Structure 1
């Protein structure tokens, strides 16, 4: 009964506001009429925000905000991160009253006073020309709320970097112990690995760990201590031990490798690969509207499950389904050789592929597969190599790498367990 009475009271208040706005429109000068008319236009949004403050339900107001909205003094574009926290820490208002309306060009600033236990809490909203909220501030001017607001945590802003590509591998620049170095981005490895060939042997320590390459044979690794690793100002390791192994086989005339950035360094991020522009974007939260504006039309979403450190998803070849992992360091797609007999109808251009790794050169069978189907998209004539160890090593039927990543702008979102493909602009 009391709940029904409360709802009825709220509806009466809303109706009173509408009547008041209409009276103001006819009784006051033109400038105030324009403001009142504007407020009537945005009243539905303001009512929804009041409801969300009372119910703590962000989903009901999510669509009111522009994708790059700024919330108080937090970084722009983090609506999904900031607003739910803000709703949780703010007190519950019983109503709101108009404070001020200002119109400047295409933007409309509306200030309201929320009624909270006979006190007021100020809310400021800037609506853009598409009537989306581009700025929001609730409660920051009240010192009694400032301590609670300080508990809200934003995620770091992302960064964009150019990459070098050699032999279909991605090399990026990062700071290691105060010096800019080149690192291979390879999610096929679980950890960061430094190039022990560049180090003083006295700085290396014994380890019981081994690394496994394409050939399946383990190679012993050592450990070393680093002062600081800093990639893009956002991904860091400080004063810790990391693995080290001989990586000089990956060096080229223009590339002297300092190490490998593995899955552990990127597991809390999403990576956007654009091979046409040789750019890599690293983000820490999902922003669908921004992704589309930057990357063009969304072609497909591919949900995946993590097996160890590999995203794994189903792939169809010749009517059969295989569980394939994604490896950013795979120069060619790799598949277990036990499936060769299943591929007679689609495999062609057979030959031999030489792969250089920890344990020297490994000889693999190779060929092209006429159609690899993922969801409703066909990837035609991709290169594959075949190895008997891939199923044992990764517990998958194969891995996809460069051949898959290069076709579209590809977002690998480790936090959402999703790969998104975009057409590009």
Structure 2
């Protein structure tokens, strides 16, 4: 039986219309407050998706952390009610489908324990296909708009995310939040809400988007042939969009991916596909996407305002 993989590239256009305001808060009951500007949140992996528990509008459930999504996205199956918008042609665009006319809500406050983010907009779409496939109660997806004012440490070793509030220049208010040693860093570029980083594959320079909700990496089938020589296909899989639309893709392993001479990756599970629609969504030309397979090999810190990725030393294992 073919495995179904979800790639949650949900890039929304800028908000232009009126939405109803909700004086409700979203908070994380399992969060650990380290200080006034830093919160640590445990997560679980559902297949390869980073999932945290949160409560919103008197409901407790799962939210996916998705650096590829522009905004907070709510599952309309759990957040029903009267919502209005004066922007009739707004779309959410995905890798293999386009979702017309998502509804919108405005949250008066988004609270992570003592950290308060005010007046954020959320899109409301049908996420039932993900709920069914992943067999979980999914309330929504947390994206860039709620993450951009924090330095985000995604630690796949300890299964936790640390959010450290930063100023307009990207400097943390708490300078001593990490006990772990930062061993290297790379520059990134921010295209709207998208993290773009340059890498080489078989000595070919490529541009990748970083998306924490991509269960496998993706490589555009139209990249340079020398780069394609490092992709070794093994089987066919079905790629599933948020609307439930499916396409068949080749899956295998990608070798020789390097960010610098010191930062390189072992073989990563990757799918080969056409990224034309995704590039429309990103508003840039990407040669691929790095997701779970990237994050599981490097403990990664994202700083949007500095446009930097930092890499944290892996723990030493004793026999």
TM-score bracket for the superposition, by shorter chain length: 0.7 to 0.9
Mapped contact 2:129–2:243 kept (Cα < 8 A): no
- 2:75 counterpart residue number: 195
In structure 2, runs of 5+ residues without a counterpart are 1-33
How many pairs does the alignment contain? 268
Q: CA deviation at 1:387?
A: 2.6
Q: CA offsets, 1:57-85, max 9 Å, x none?
A: xxxxxxxxxxxxxxxxxxx99xxxxxxxx
* Match of residue 345, structure 1, among 205, 221, 229: 229
1:162 aligned onto 2:42: yes
Q: Structure 2 vs 1, CA of residues 402 and 232 (structure 1 numbering), >3 Å: closer, same or farther?
A: farther
Taking structure 1 as the reference length, the TM-score comes to 0.58
Q: Distance in 2 between matches of 1:241 and 1:303?
A: 29
- 2:208 counterpart residue number: 324
Taking structure 2 as the reference length, the TM-score comes to 0.76
Structure number with the higher strand fraction is: 2
Q: Structure 2 vs 1, CA of residues 219 and 368 (structure 1 numbering), >3 Å: closer, same or farther?
A: farther
In structure 1, runs of 5+ residues without a counterpart are 1-75, 78-155
Coordinate RMSD, CA, aligned: 2.5
1:261 aligned onto 2:145: no
Mapped contact 2:89–2:100 kept (Cα < 8 A): no
- 1:387 counterpart residue number: 273
- 2:260 counterpart residue number: 375
- 2:153 counterpart residue number: 272
Q: CA offsets, 1:219-261, max 9 Å, x none?
A: 43112354543234324345x6531000112215762111111
Mapped contact 2:204–2:227 kept (Cα < 8 A): no
Mapped contact 1:219–1:359 kept (Cα < 8 A): no
Instruction: State the structure with more CA Rg.
Output: 1
Matched residue SS, 1:392: helix
Matched residue SS, 2:124: strand
1:230 aligned onto 2:111: yes
- 1:174 counterpart residue number: 54
Q: CA offsets, 1:201-229, max 9 Å, x none?
A: x4243543111122143443112354543
Q: Distance in 1 between matches of 2:61 and 2:221?
A: 37
Q: Distance in 2 between matches of 1:306 and 1:337?
A: 24
- 1:365 counterpart residue number: 250
Matched residue SS, 2:314: coil
Q: Distance in 2 between matches of 1:340 and 1:214?
A: 21
- 1:411 counterpart residue number: 301
Matched residue SS, 1:272: strand
Q: CA offsets, 1:353-389, max 9 Å, x none?
A: 2122223223222221121011122212112222322
Q: CA deviation at 1:272?
A: 0.5
